[in-house]
Structure 1
Amino acid sequence: MLSNQHFYHRTTRKMVVAFGTMFNNLKLFRYNAAGTTEIERIIVPLNYITKEKFYQRITQDPKLAKEV
C-alpha cells in the first residue's frame, strides 16, 4: 500500500522556473504627481546567477545604479 519512498521529480527546479517566467521582464511605470502622464517606463529583468557573482556585483557597485 503506502511505501516510504521519496519522490522528488525536480520540484524545486520547476518552482524556480515558474517563478522566473511569471516575474520576468516586469515593467514599472512612473507617473507625474497628478497621475495623468507617464514620465518613465522601466523594465526589470530577472537574472539567475551564483552567489559568488551576486556578491561580486554588490561589492563593485553597492547602489546597483546601472542603466539597463
Structure 2
Amino acid sequence: MAIPNYQNIMLPLLKYAVDGQEHSMREAIGALADQFNLSEDERKELLPLTRVTLQERRTKVLMLI
C-alpha cells in the first residue's frame, strides 16, 4: 500500500488519540504504519533533502493542527 495522504491519515490518527491515553509521536507513527500495512521500505522512505520519513512528516503536521 502507498503511504496515505493527509486526508486519509486524519481520521485514523484522531481515533488513535481519542482513547484518553498519552501517546508519543513515535507510537502514533508506528500505530498508523501498522494500520495502513506499510512495508518496511515505505516506513523508511525519506523526504528529499531531509532525514525525516514521509509518514513521520505527514503525521506530525496533522498532530499540530
TM-score range (shorter-chain normalised) is under 0.3
Higher strand share: 1
The structure number with the bigger radius of gyration is 1
* Higher RCO (Cα < 8 Å, 6 or more apart): 2
The alignment's TM-score, normalised by the length of structure 1, stands at: 0.24
The structure where helix makes up a greater share of residues is 2
